[in-house]
Structure 1
């Protein structure tokens, strides 16, 4: 895992995917070495042959994913795909260790999502009109959230689930992508004060509905994403400062209105006083992180199931307990390298919509990582969001894979821009030669 992390940052030294090829090969070898080592320990601890077959199937899926993306989209960014596969692998190993049934479901959903992801870059590249549908995206996002507000089912105090034909999913996860399209589309065309005010009102409407759904983690993500995209689009620090002040005031109001928010803040401030009730989750998480030490207790050596909803909200603590703080720290570092790479791709794109979309997706991803890891380690109050691609949650996994595929699509746009620029320079040289 340490080698994989090292290669995740080494790629930044070299410009161009071709020059990074040997690094990606070593990174892939490190990925499967990590997977093999983990499954060897699982098989040794359980003595079950079914894990061997699961190892073979998962290996085939991950190899196919890395190879197919390289073949179908040679101009895409391989670091993002390699990191995505590493996150999926770690998540499936830990979820399978906690609950074999949930691990199989996660694997099936992830595999289906990867199949969908193969066509996403081409769709984004071909359907250029999507960047002009900002107002439509805003309306769709608000309608979906309103439907969830009226017909959604309550889970752990938040109305975040929607059921159709017996299947449960979380629409607000999908709206993250729609929201990123909405703000990137409008702010890429107009940045005047009137437009900023209208977009801010619509963005605030999304956040308010999420607050009413008591999904404060998603509300925070939407808010921070909008602030960052607005700042990048307008380059106006005053907008950013005004947004922070407004957000701070809104957070205080939410704290005064919602009792469960007050409980989470109190549990964050002093979980030991109410260790048997409101502070139980966070104290068990801290016990797990500290108990694992530097190297971890080994798979099946800890007790991650002692933390309620561990596979959804406390996967970082489970990883730190059984695989060690070094492994967990490497996982965070790989998340950071993914974030940096998406921002670098955004920097290379000349198209304003593509640049802002990549920024929105990057901030969505890394801020969700921050909320999860920060909550598990008592750095911030718990928000109940999942660790992308690692925690159990079908909708979250599918949406994150699609987000990465959208970034791959913008890599195609970037390559097309370079090719058009090359042709333009070639025509200019030819015309100059004729003269």
Structure 2
């Protein structure tokens, strides 16, 4: 009976995921606010139903009451997120909030599944819930800070100094882990400064390019950005180095509209990749595993080969929760969680996950295009590029599309630094969305004032032509003609209806 329920549940979960994904893009076609609200409410219902189906299935398989506890805590946290954002920030993008909650849900389902086989069962899932709660607390504070702090574009070299110092500290003092220096372990928690430096780096580039687009300033900005990338390469944190490089190149091109900079940047990046390949054995190992994971199965290709086996085993509809072997994939909770998801949930479910990430990026670009302030516009573009390129690196690496870079999937993979930094990133985007709403409200008010002045001018012109307000002669029997003041007409009282 349990096997039948597991088999049926995977189809139910796929349908719910597909319906949610469809609504992510259908919302862009809604012209009225009431229709948009209905779609957003439908998304919330689909998300909570998916949670219930997945955690209910896992409980039936394991009979472990701790799964019910994890489900209840997750549902309460996500419900609190949705309600708090509606109460505190009624003007935020509800689609971004829903997508954030859905990605956390997807990650928690698979982390709970994987952590059941750990020496301390479900310890990883509990820690991920704690990270999510802390991230949400930070994410709720960030939008108001972005809206109130009008001087963020003046800290150009402070951003550069803080980011460079954090990366240099890791390169000099961090312990080697998995062939790379990534961060420090404090009280059993691994902190990766590079996750937060990505955000600081975007602020630095936006502030610098907003200040000046002259060639001299671009050379200085490029030199500082190259120093950040070089430190990461020396730490063999190749994924973060690639993200900073691509983010800078995109922001530079959009700010200057100069194809020469883009071509020169791509050429320099290609040359640096060749030099890095010959200098660092770590890079050679990853390229070798990418070229022939089966031939190097007993060595460097083991991770990628296991990832490909898992994806192939899952096929379109997956094996079902607890019916696959995702625990055989190395570091499945972090670097290879996409493979684990694909094995038990199926390729269709995994494609929907990718499309949800893409819908977030589309929303980020939409916000960037509609912002009038150039600094905020570059911030939205840079953070959006940082997010979607990290998704590309993670999924591309586990599917053998590109060499593996060891990146996490934002909100989905296990990790405190990744969860906190991504939550802050989304909080900044929400703050920019509120700023965009403020700008639109100011434009609407300016338009109404302009329309009011135009109507008053037309009225005065009409009164002048009709002679309203002039003196008119009047004769009487006792006296000659005398002039009497004609009273001006009072303006018509407005009803208060806004014109759109």
Range of TM-score over shorter length = over 0.9
Aligned to 2:246: 224
Aligned to 2:36: 20
Instruction: Tell me if the contact between 1:17 and 1:78 (Cα under 8 Å) persists in the aligned partners.
Output: no
Compute the displacement of 1:17 (Å). Answer: 5.5
Aligned to 2:363: 341
SS of aligned partner of 1:168: strand
Compute the displacement of 1:32 (Å). Answer: 1.0
TM-score (norm 1): 0.98
Instruction: Tell me if the contact between 1:17 and 1:77 (Cα under 8 Å) persists in the aligned partners.
Output: no
Instruction: Tell me if the contact between 2:297 and 2:305 (Cα under 8 Å) persists in the aligned partners.
Output: yes
Compute the displacement of 1:425 (Å). Answer: 2.7
Matches within 5 A, 1:151-190: 151-164=173-186, 167-190=189-212
Cα separation, 2, equivalents of 1:421 and 1:227: 32
Structure 2, unmatched stretches of 5+, are 1-16, 116-121, 458-500
Aligned to 1:2: 18
Change (3 A) 1:234 1:270: same
Give yes or no for the alignment of 1:109 onto 2:125.
no
Cα separation, 2, equivalents of 1:181 and 1:287: 41
Deviations 1:232-277 (A, max 9, x none): 1111111111100000000111111111111111111111111111
Aligned to 1:374: 396
Give yes or no for the alignment of 1:385 onto 2:407.
yes
Cα separation, 1, equivalents of 2:32 and 2:203: 27
Cα separation, 2, equivalents of 1:192 and 1:16: 44
Compute the displacement of 1:14 (Å). Answer: 2.3
Cα separation, 2, equivalents of 1:51 and 1:345: 38
Compute the displacement of 1:164 (Å). Answer: 4.2
Aligned to 2:495: none
Compute the displacement of 1:116 (Å). Answer: 1.2
Give yes or no for the alignment of 1:139 onto 2:161.
yes
Aligned to 2:486: none
Compute the displacement of 1:59 (Å). Answer: 0.6
Instruction: Tell me if the contact between 1:153 and 1:159 (Cα under 8 Å) persists in the aligned partners.
Output: yes
Cα separation, 2, equivalents of 1:210 and 1:191: 26
Cα separation, 2, equivalents of 1:5 and 1:31: 10
Aligned to 1:29: 45
Cα separation, 1, equivalents of 2:263 and 2:334: 33
Cα separation, 2, equivalents of 1:166 and 1:400: 21
Compute the displacement of 1:71 (Å). Answer: 2.0
Deviations 1:4-45 (A, max 9, x none): 100011111125755411111111111111111110111011
1:148 maps to which of 170, 173, 193: 170
Structure 1, unmatched stretches of 5+, are none
SS of aligned partner of 2:296: coil
Aligned to 1:47: 63
SS of aligned partner of 1:118: helix
Instruction: Tell me if the contact between 2:138 and 2:423 (Cα under 8 Å) persists in the aligned partners.
Output: no
Give yes or no for the alignment of 1:359 onto 2:381.
yes
Q: Which moved more, 1:271-280 or 1:365-374?
A: 271-280
Change (3 A) 1:376 1:17: farther
1:404 maps to which of 396, 408, 426: 426
Compute the displacement of 1:65 (Å). Answer: 0.6
Aligned to 1:98: 114
Deviations 1:262-305 (A, max 9, x none): 11111111111111111110110000000011111111111111
Change (3 A) 1:182 1:18: farther
Aligned to 2:476: none
Instruction: Tell me if the contact between 2:190 and 2:416 (Cα under 8 Å) persists in the aligned partners.
Output: no
SS of aligned partner of 2:81: helix
Deviations 1:316-370 (A, max 9, x none): 0000000001000100011111111110011111111111101111011100100
Compute the displacement of 1:150 (Å). Answer: 1.5
Give yes or no for the alignment of 1:69 onto 2:85.
yes
Cα separation, 2, equivalents of 1:16 and 1:416: 19
Cα separation, 2, equivalents of 1:89 and 1:154: 32
Deviations 1:170-194 (A, max 9, x none): 0011101100111111112211111
1:260 maps to which of 282, 295, 320: 282
Instruction: Tell me if the contact between 1:285 and 1:376 (Cα under 8 Å) persists in the aligned partners.
Output: yes
Give the greater-gyration-radius structure (CA). 2
Compute the displacement of 1:167 (Å). Answer: 4.0
SS of aligned partner of 2:409: coil
Cα separation, 2, equivalents of 1:53 and 1:110: 16
TM-score (norm 2): 0.85
SS of aligned partner of 1:271: coil
Cα separation, 2, equivalents of 1:18 and 1:398: 33
Compute the displacement of 1:163 (Å). Answer: 3.5
Compute the displacement of 1:93 (Å). Answer: 1.2
Figure out how many residues of one structure are paired with residues of the other and give that number.
435
